[in-house]
Amino acid sequence: MCINILKMKNKKAQIQMGESIAILFIFFILVVFGFVFYMNIMKGSAKIEIEENIQLKAIGIAQEVSFLPELQCSEENVRVEDCIDLMKLDAASKLLKDNSIYYYDIFEFSKIWVEEVFPNEGTNGTYTTAHRQPIVIEYPHLYRYHYLILLQKNITLEYWL
Amino acid sequence: MKKRGLIELHFNWIFILIAGAIIFVFFINVVNKQKDLSEIKTSATIVTSLESILTGAQISTDTINIVDLPKVDIGFECNRYFIGAIPKQIKGNVIFAPNLLKGKKLITWALDWNMPYRVTNFLYLTDPQLRYVLVHDSNTQSIATKIYDELPQEMNKELIENINNFKNKNNYKVKFIFLINPNNNVLTKLSNMANEDVTAINLTDIGTSNIIPSTGTIEFFQKKENTWESKGTTYYLKKESLFGAIFADDKDIYDCVMKKAFKKLNLVSKIYSERSEELSTNYGTGTRCYSPHSSANIPIDSMKITSADELNNFPANGLPRMNAMKDYNINIKNENQRAQLFSCALIY
């Protein structure tokens, strides 16, 4: 009788222990699921943020390029907005290559080029996702302006017309 | 039997305790990790925002902006700045700022540095809690007033003639701009401040007129208990770099930032040199427009060579070098006026 009661109590205790462990197991599984779910959401929002930052940077670089004194047109040192001096551009393409380490700090891995849209339409139209900024180009000795688009894509640094 | 029941009861409690502790530690870890992560994220967001602010301030000159920021410490060096543990390169930008900005507001001020063509924008950063004190006497009052008026209104600035009237207002940094000999008495009123938080510059040859000279000497000082300790002498070229010395905390950073400006001057001078050469070739020898462009090439080339030298040696060549650059600047300006007079394409 006594042995029977002892056995029953033992079994009861084992069942209780098993219950507690099962509850803990399920609890931890739920925690892990929650954590994985949370991480996935975080990953998604981080991706969007990174993309936003890249776009912001691209616009920043394009802005910096259009305000570079090495390229910008000026009249008596008064800046002409959205205008590139052709002679400066010619000189800059060599200067930028010779000082690529210095300019890397500004342009990073960007590829920047100008494309003529008027009167002669340009042929480089493949980079449709690039940041496009309309500008004019000045031929200082001829007092002539051509209309161009300044393009910028985060690849490499290069200038051509 | 009773004993066995007691052991069972105790074991249950021990089990609950261990399991509870594990769960507790797990959640503390998650919270700590999240806290660190969000701190890094906040710093990164501020870095990105600050980068956009700096770019914006750089491209729009003669503007003053007051930017609201979360309460973070922003540390500035010559080539990078820090927000928390996150460093960011300043790149080629020319930024004069104190070593540490603590406030919730950031004052940005951008000015063109023209030699005489636009070279770069000088960006000045400060905080309304940072105090700037211009100390003058009756002789230097007009020039002190001129400098005071040129500095942004939003700055925490004041003009003092009698240094004994100076009162400690518990600012975290104080910068003195002496237009007279530096006075040690003022330091007794700032004895509770750390040495590196009290700095000064002395404009030794600023003169007494109400025009800021184009070149001059600047001596940097730092508080050393109750005396001013000289940190060395350097020079400014145009008032924009004088303002840079007001905003920069120490001489080394000022010199380093000026070297960056000279690097940019060298590059821009190369562009203008080639442009003038091409323009003079296009106009042809003997034509009316040939002369201003070919004549301008001499001072532009000198500017190019001198700036390349200053890039490595500033400020070792002293004030005569600054004066020489000022002269090239005037010569180029004159040639540009001549080009304008002859209705030719301008030099800059």
Q: Give B176-211 pLDDT, tens digit per residue.
A: 999 999 989 899 999 999 999 999 999 989 988 889
Q: Name which of A21-30, A54-63, B29-38, B193-202 the model is least confident about.
A: A54-63
Label residue A117 by pLDDT band (50, 70, 90).
low
Compare all CA atoms of chain A with the CA of B340 and give the residue at the minimum distance.
A76
Interval B222-263: pLDDT, tens: 999 999 999 999 999 999 999 999 999 999 999 999 999 999
Compare all CA atoms of chain A with the CA of B118 and give the residue at the minimum distance.
A69
Domain spans of chain A? 1-161
Whole-number pLDDT of residue B140: 93
- Per-residue pLDDT for A137 more than 60? no
Whole-number pLDDT of residue A146: 53
| Residue of B119, B263, B340 with shortest CB distance to A69 | B119
- Global pTM value: 0.82
Whole-number pLDDT of residue A130: 44
Q: End-to-end distance of chain B based on CA atoms, in angstroms?
A: 104
Residues recorded for chain B: 348
Helix (H, G, I), strand (E, B) or coil at B194: coil
Label residue A139 by pLDDT band (50, 70, 90).
low
Whole-number pLDDT of residue A96: 87
Q: Name which of A61-70, A94-103, B53-62, B105-114 the model is least confident about.
A: B53-62
Whole-number pLDDT of residue B255: 97
Q: Are B56 and B108 in contact (CB under 8 A)?
A: no
Residue A101 dihedral angles phi and psi, to the nearest 5°: -65, -45
Instruction: For residue B348, give how far its alpha carbon lies from the nearest alpha carbon of chain A (Å).
Output: 6
Q: What percent of chain A has pLDDT over 90?
A: 4
Instruction: For residue A128, give how far its alpha carbon lies from the nearest alpha carbon of chain B (Å).
Output: 25
CB atoms under 10 Å from CB of B48, counted, come to: 16
Label residue A116 by pLDDT band (50, 70, 90).
low
| Residue of A35, A60, A76 with shortest CB distance to B55 | A60
Residue B134 CA to its chain's centroid (Å): 18
Q: Which of A43, A76, A94, A157 to mutate to test the interface with B (most CBs of B within 10 A)?
A: A76
- Per-residue pLDDT for A12 more than 80? no
Residues of B with Cβ-Cβ distance to A53 under 8 angstroms = 48
Whole-number pLDDT of residue A111: 74
Q: Mean pLDDT throughout A111-138? A: 56
- Per-residue pLDDT for A126 more than 60? no
Whole-number pLDDT of residue B183: 86
- Per-residue pLDDT for A152 more than 60? no
Q: Which residue has the higher pLDDT, B28 or A58?
A: B28
Compare all CA atoms of chain B with the CA of A139 and give the residue at the minimum distance.
B345
- Per-residue pLDDT for A63 more than 70? yes
| Residue of A31, A87, A92 with shortest CB distance to B278 | A87
Q: Which residue has the higher pLDDT, B298 or A152?
A: B298
Which of A66, A96, A103, A110 has the alpha carbon at shortest distance from B270?
A96
The CA dihedral of B27, B30, B32, B37, to the nearest 10 degrees, is -160
Whole-number pLDDT of residue B317: 94
Q: What is the ipTM of this complex?
A: 0.80
Phi/psi region, residue B322 (left: phi>0; alpha: psi -120 to 50; beta: rest), is alpha
Strand order in the sheet with B215-224: B156-160, B131-135, B174-178, B198-202, B215-224, B227-237
Helix (H, G, I), strand (E, B) or coil at B90: coil
* 8 Å CB contact of B55 and A64: yes
Low pLDDT (below 70) residues in chain B: 1-9, 58
Q: Name which of A50-59, A94-103, B174-183, B234-243 the model is least confident about.
A: A50-59
Q: Mean pLDDT throughout A69-89? A: 84
Residues recorded for chain A: 161
Q: Which of A68, A103, A144 to mutate to test the interface with B (most CBs of B within 10 A)?
A: A68
Query: How distant, in Å, are the alpha carbons of A46, A47, A155, B103 from that of B52?
Result: 19, 20, 21, 19
